[in-house]
Amino acid sequence: MGYHAAQETLPVSRLTVLAPDGYVEYAADIEPTHAILFGRNPDTQVQAVAEAEGLKEIAPVTILSPSVSANHALVSAQDGEVRVRDLGSRNGTWLLLPKNRSILVGSSDVILQLGKAKANLSLTDDPEPPVWHHRNEFGPAVARAIEAWLSTRDVHARVVLHTSPEANRSPGQIPLADGGALDIEALGTADATWPGLIEHMWRWVGRQNALFESEENTRSEGMILASRAIRKAHREVVEAAQRDAKTLLLMGPSGAGKEVLAEVFHRASGRSGPLITTNCSTFSKELLRSELFGAEPGSFTSATRRIVGAVERAQGGTLFLDEIGELPIDLQAMFLRFLDRREFEHVGEIGRARTADVRIVAATNRDLRAAARAGDFRVDLWYRLSVYVVDVPPLHSRREDVLSYLESTQLNAGISARDALAPDAIEVLHNHPWDGNFRELTNFVLRLPRDASRGSIDAPACRRVLNAGALRTTSALQAITTDHDETSSPQWADLAVKAVAAFFEDHGHEPKSWDDQKEWNEKYLKPLLFFHLGNAVTESEPMNDEEMSSFASQAAARLQADRGTAVKQLARYFERFGR
């Protein structure tokens, strides 16, 4: 900032220097005709400056802070005054004066701060979620995400990953849940927002640590978290719990993992009460009310004793209501009251309102939106439940989960289910619809021969095992093909499944509305069909502009389409599905 000359002479006793975080970095008396050079990497070659001011000696003092410039400020005592010269620092040099003193710098005690302590920082964005599949990938993924985020903010820094954080530990080291740690190091002079950025990263890494620990716990409980789709659903459940969501709605097919995700929510919420599970489809209407809210003795024929309902049993914890779509319409009104006020009454008890502190996780394999529009589910209850909605993806859109389960299941010593399947059998599994989701997959593995050797189960054998428990056999799906040669034409059902999976990855749910269907048809199914039906080249090598133009012409001619249509559909294909 430069300096202000003193108008009075006072004896100088001591100089105190603060770093931007406010901690004392240097304290000493100042000798006449001597100077002290402060900086992150002080260079005494500024001797010319000292000589011009009549100084005999420069003592460099290093201040290890990213907000301090390499050569920040020169301080000396001459003619009874403290003289401060800012050496063109990025963040300026600030004087902290004693109370009720003027800005004049005399010989009283002087506290000098290098740069602002902290600038106001408003951050509305976070790094992209890190992607990892195994424990040893977590730290590098977090480091890459932070570096990418810092670069978008034009912050020149690097992230150093330590797998053994105990060695060379620094005060600002950010711990990781896998046992490692991160250092974020500025590669140049950072501006005054640096402390705020580091604080923001501490909080963000804390959330990633919580997610990592939740994934580790979920995997240890037997749920497969390999595919991008199911890990996205898992992340949304954990984030809802971290936000202290009072209700969560899980929508997805039976066997896709909704009950395990309810357990994830309960664990991530950190509540002391239990997780209580009630399936709304297993009770009659009369019994379901008492199962949920409790009943007094004699309130109905079989009520010989007081019944404690699921709501009371879940006090301080979580109530998981499976198949919420089967809740009778008159009980929906009672349940809505409970969600609004957390109040309920026992069956046979009038005028006594009880309360319970309970988080609700509801799950369904029905389309509750359609049920609400049709009048089969209360609209107001839908809106009360749908604060946080997580779509749990079906297994046919989670190929990585199928392979991961096969790899984790042993048929015999040293041979997993994945090892026993030949490559053409794996392709059969990729194209299977998996209507029964994980229940169908686990049953398929149970039917595999225990004495199978590596690669011994080929495609025909795999189909026979699949068809033994499938609702739709693979032979029926294979009949839906074009009249072209099998090596060059697609299986229509397979392409439709691939298009649905791509739509799900981009939107978080399958096509549900008419507008969804139109977008799915135009942007996903048509490009896939056009590429495969008009495929005049292999997909293994990338094409240059000339080859792409030739490919479009060949495809248009083969399919009797105009070239403009070919160019548009192929562009959509390569944009979404790549090579």
**CATH number, residue 261:** 3.40.50.300
Question: Same domain, yes or no, for 108 and 185?
Answer: no
Q: What is the pLDDT of residue 484?
A: 38
Query: Is pLDDT of 56 > 60?
Result: yes
The candidate with the shortest Cα–Cα distance to 119, out of 74, 81, 166, 67, is 67
Question: Same domain, yes or no, for 246 and 381?
Answer: yes
Question: Same domain, yes or no, for 500 and 553?
Answer: yes
pLDDT band (50, 70, 90) for residue 139: very high
Q: What is the pLDDT of residue 58?
A: 84
pLDDT tens sequence across 23-35: 677 887 777 777 8
Q: What is the pLDDT of residue 541?
A: 46
| Most confident by average pLDDT, 122-126, 315-319, 393-397, 547-551 | 315-319
Query: Which of 185, 220, 255 is the last residue in one of the domains?
Result: 220
Lowest mean pLDDT of 186-200, 247-261, 426-440, name the range: 186-200
Q: What's the CA gap between 300 and 292, in Å, rounded?
A: 15
Q: What is the pLDDT of residue 336?
A: 92
In this structure, what CATH number is given to the domain that contains residue 26? 2.60.200
What average pLDDT does this structure show over 358-368?
94
Q: Is residue 257 part of a domain?
A: yes
Which of the pair, 82 or 336, is modelled with greater confidence? Answer: 336
What average pLDDT does this structure show over 461-482?
69
Q: What is the pLDDT of residue 118?
A: 58
Question: Same domain, yes or no, for 549 and 458?
Answer: no
Q: What is the pLDDT of residue 538?
A: 40
Cβ partners under 8 Å of residue 294, min gap 6: 306, 307, 308, 309, 311, 312, 344, 346, 347
**Rounded to whole angstroms, what are the CA distances from 230 to 210, 217, 337?**
17, 15, 33
Question: Same domain, yes or no, for 416 and 360?
Answer: no
Q: Is residue 236 part of a domain?
A: yes
User: Quick check: helix, strand or coil at residue 368?
Assistant: helix
Query: Is pLDDT of 428 > 50?
Result: yes
Q: What is the pLDDT of residue 482?
A: 34
Question: Same domain, yes or no, for 69 and 42?
Answer: yes
Query: Is pLDDT of 407 > 80?
Result: yes
Question: Same domain, yes or no, for 241 and 367?
Answer: yes
Question: Same domain, yes or no, for 20 and 41?
Answer: yes
Q: Is residue 142 part of a domain?
A: yes
DSSP notation for 4-39? ---SS------EEEE-TTS-EEEEE---BTEEEEEE
Q: How many domains does the chain have?
A: 5
Q: What is the pLDDT of residue 486?
A: 40
Query: Is pLDDT of 206 > 70?
Result: yes
Q: Is residue 122 part of a domain?
A: no
Structure tokens at 1: 């900032």
Query: Which of 479, 500, 529 is the last residue in one of the domains?
Result: 479
Distance of CA 452 to the CA centre of its chain: 39
Which of the pair, 67 or 13, is modelled with greater confidence? Answer: 67
Q: Is residue 541 part of a domain?
A: yes
Question: Same domain, yes or no, for 211 and 283?
Answer: no
User: Quick check: helix, strand or coil at residue 336?
Assistant: helix
Domain residues for the domain of 427 are 395-479
In this structure, what CATH number is given to the domain that contains residue 445? 1.10.8
pLDDT tens sequence across 374-398: 888 999 999 999 999 999 999 988 9
Query: Is pLDDT of 480 > 50?
Result: no
What average pLDDT does this structure show over 341-368?
87
Query: Is pLDDT of 217 > 70?
Result: yes
Distance of CA 205 to the CA centre of its chain: 11
Question: Same domain, yes or no, for 489 and 546?
Answer: yes
Q: Is residue 119 part of a domain?
A: no
Q: Is residue 259 part of a domain?
A: yes
pLDDT tens sequence across 433-467: 898 999 999 999 999 999 999 999 999 999 999 99
Question: Same domain, yes or no, for 344 and 493?
Answer: no
Question: Same domain, yes or no, for 521 and 534?
Answer: yes
What average pLDDT does this structure show over 49-74?
80
Query: Which of 350, 367, 391 is the last residue in one of the domains?
Result: 391
The candidate with the shortest Cα–Cα distance to 133, out of 231, 37, 237, is 231
What average pLDDT does this structure show over 55-72?
84
The candidate with the shortest Cα–Cα distance to 89, out of 127, 42, 35, is 42
**Using CA of residue 244, residue 246, residue 250, residue 255, what is the dihedral sign?**
positive
Which of the pair, 572 or 52, is modelled with greater confidence? Answer: 572
Q: Are strands 73-78 and 410-412 parallel, antiparallel or unpaired?
A: unpaired
Q: Is residue 75 part of a domain?
A: yes
Q: What is the pLDDT of residue 249?
A: 97
